[in-house]
Structure 1
């Protein structure tokens, strides 16, 4: 498959009163045409910062210290703000987490969906509104023609999220970044939105980067999964490899903490400790203080990536040839089996 995006050795920091926060450290991944890549991890792991950097939507105190973001062979990092304005919304679009804050309360829905098309494709207002109507119908807004002149507050939460998706899709972007787009929605609406994204992706062959902390969402939408911790990717592979053959202890913990809801006394596994302080990044493996299987070298040296298969690699010293054989705790393995069984039948 053709690569539409390559991120190489990305390093991002933030200047704060307390000092420099090294938020993203040596992150690399690629995205293929028509693929859905999920990036998962706890809050603060660097998921949203990484994807906002692709859009060049970072805060004023952020620094791209090094690295490349290649889109169609050109480095986004080197582009001016004026050049990025021609890419944002047209070639790379983003669905944000909270639809209410993503929509302008003073503008009608029709104008908001059509706006990007008018700016990027230089077409008339009438043509743009006609296209906006088609897309609102596609994303499932009832009586879309009548509701073009409605305002955001006149729609439900699920409908607002559909409108945000329509705004992101109006120019048929090559890359769609979805930053936890279903977090604020109830389970039924969440399932509808995920199904909608899959249907639209099949129609326009867009590539999706899906940001989430919910592995249940990942199981339903992702082709590949990148697991982030402490500003780094610690494991990456196909969704099947991550769910059926995870190799990093942090991935074990994430999978073990997923609820299965099939037993009254079913206790969740909790990863001990807290994420690292990125004002003072650890010398060795960032997960070392929370890793019950940590080796002595973890405190001294950050692990490289070890290849599990051509599509699967993990940054853990447990995969080094000289490392002792370690298996996940039984309580985690039992939970995986329940979780996989649930999603296999879904």
Structure 2
């Protein structure tokens, strides 16, 4: 049996921001990993800590005001938390690259597209300008830019939003990274272009065997994109599992809320979409117990007193909720969750307590 290589493993990551209003505990004990050639979707509302976690992996967080208080970010077998900016320059691009939400703020408006790609290739591969140009044009073709030779000499403003995002993907892939982080890469695009970009990323992952961390607030976007999904709330991972486990056998009330608020193509016009009541907590003063308790109709007394442990539902499915305790009352999930379970041919195992967080 071949051993699966972990491209990145994050262990007990804590990140604080020191502000005039107080210490914001933005990431609180996050644990997850991504295997070689795998796509992990990191989902949750704005302010849940997704982008902060991603920027920590790239070591792009400004220090101050941010500080990694504790934890490990083991990237390609090496902990990068202690590394300096100069040391990270050799890692960014080569081992890990990032696609940002808005390509216009990431591309240099005064520099031709081709040059922006070629300079990265020259820096990382030590090739001539002519060789770099050939490779840059190949990358533009790979990401679906028509007439790549002509587009090579154009400026960002001459590209549409979707084409600019394709250019950003080409730039991110220029150094052939092992891990690609996509931070809300389709939010600014219309639905048709969004679908094209998602399909492109799937194709490139299969072709290049690149691992991807895909960050989004929209569970619907990742249904056909990810291998596994990690649901993040108030700076913590509250549920993680395969796509099928998260979509058809979710166990955390927050995941139920995200799924229940997601419209589907087969929904009737009369079918009501659910909204999660309230708003995320102020992380300058994280709530005692389960951070989601104040927004959950399933909350019990213990939720307001003690932080829930991690429960294992299957080999790949983990949930941080007191509802999985053997003595917890049996609750009925929203109807649409039950409907999903009914239509899914899988089995639904009982959870067991995990003594140590993964």
Q: State the TM-score, normalizing by the size of structure 1.
A: 0.95
Contact 1:37 1:226 in 2 (8 A): yes
* Alpha-carbon distance, 1:243 to partner: 0.5
Aligned to 2:222: 218
> Structure 1 stretches of 5 or more lacking a match?
341-346
Partner SS, residue 110 of structure 2: coil
Does structure 1 residue 25 correspond to structure 2 residue 62?
A: no
Alignment partner of 1:87: what SS? coil
**Paired residue secondary structure (2:172):** helix
**Do the aligned partners of 2:247 and 2:340 also contact (CA within 8 Å) in 1?**
no
- Quote the offset at 1:260 in angstroms: 2.2
Tell me the alpha carbon deviations over residues 147-195 of structure 1, each in whole angstroms, 9 at most, x when there is no partner.
1110000011111010000000011110000001111111111111111
Instruction: Provide the C-alpha distance between the structure 1 equivalents of 2:340 and 2:66, rounded to a whole number of angstroms.
Output: 39
Q: By how many angstroms is 1:89 displaced?
A: 1.1
* Equivalent of 1:300 in 298, 305, 308: 305
SS in 1 for 2:71: strand
Aligned residue for 1:118, secondary structure, equals helix
**Helix, strand or coil for the counterpart of 2:81?**
helix
Question: How far apart are the structure 1 equivalents of 2:223 and 2:214?
Answer: 12
How far apart are residue 266 of structure 1 and its match? 2.6
Match of 1:127 among 131, 142, 157: 131
1:285 and 2:285 matched: no
Please give the per-residue CA displacement for 1:228-253, whole angstroms capped at 9, x wherever unaligned: 00000000000110001000000000
* Per-residue deviation, 1:146: 1.2
> Which residue pairs with 2:154 in the alignment?
150
The one-character-per-residue Cα deviations of 1:259-282 (angstroms, maximum 9, x if unpaired) are: 125322232101111101100011
Contact 1:10 1:66 in 2 (8 A): yes
Pair 326,3 (structure 1): closer, same or farther in 2 beyond 3 Å: same
Superposed CA RMSD in Å reads: 1.6
User: Which of 253, 256, 260 pairs up with 2:260?
Assistant: 256
For 1:83, which of 76, 83, 87 is the aligned residue? 87
Take 1:186 and 1:145, find their aligned partners in 2: how far apart are those partners? 27
Cα distance in 1 between the residues matched to 2:277 and 2:344: 21
Q: Which residue, out of 173, 178, 182, partners 1:174?
A: 178
Please give the secondary structure, in 1, of the residue aligned with 2:150. helix
CA distance in 2, matches of 1:109, 1:123: 18
**Distance in structure 2 (CA, Å) of the matches to 1:339 and 1:45:** 29
Do the aligned partners of 2:44 and 2:216 also contact (CA within 8 Å) in 1?
A: yes
Query: Structure 2 matches for 1:38-187, cutoff 5 A?
Result: 38-60=41-63, 61-187=65-191
Partner of 1:6: 9
CA–CA distance in 1 between the matches of 2:29 and 2:134? 45
Which residue is 2:18 aligned to? 15
Supply the distance in 1 between the matched residues of 2:251 and 2:62 (Cα, whole angstroms).
Answer: 34
Distance 2:336 2:203 in 1: 36
In 1, Cα distance between equivalents of 2:114 and 2:140 = 9
Say whether the 8 Å CA contact 1:224–1:236 is kept in structure 2.
yes
In the alignment, the residues of structure 1 paired with residue 276 and residue 286 of structure 2 have an alpha-carbon distance, to the nearest angstrom, of: 19
CA apart distance, 1:37: 0.2
Higher helix share: 1
SS at match of 2:90: helix
Question: Counterparts of 1:115 and 1:338 in 2: how far apart (Å)?
Answer: 51
1:339 is displaced (CA, Å) by 12
Distance in 1 between residues matched to 2:130 and 2:344, nearest whole Å: 49
Q: How does 1:225-240 map to 2 (within 5 A)?
A: 225-240=229-244
Residues 119-145 of structure 1, C-alpha deviation per residue, up to 9 Å, x if partnerless?
Answer: 122222221111000000111111110
TM-score, length basis structure 2: 0.92
Shift of 1:334: 4.8
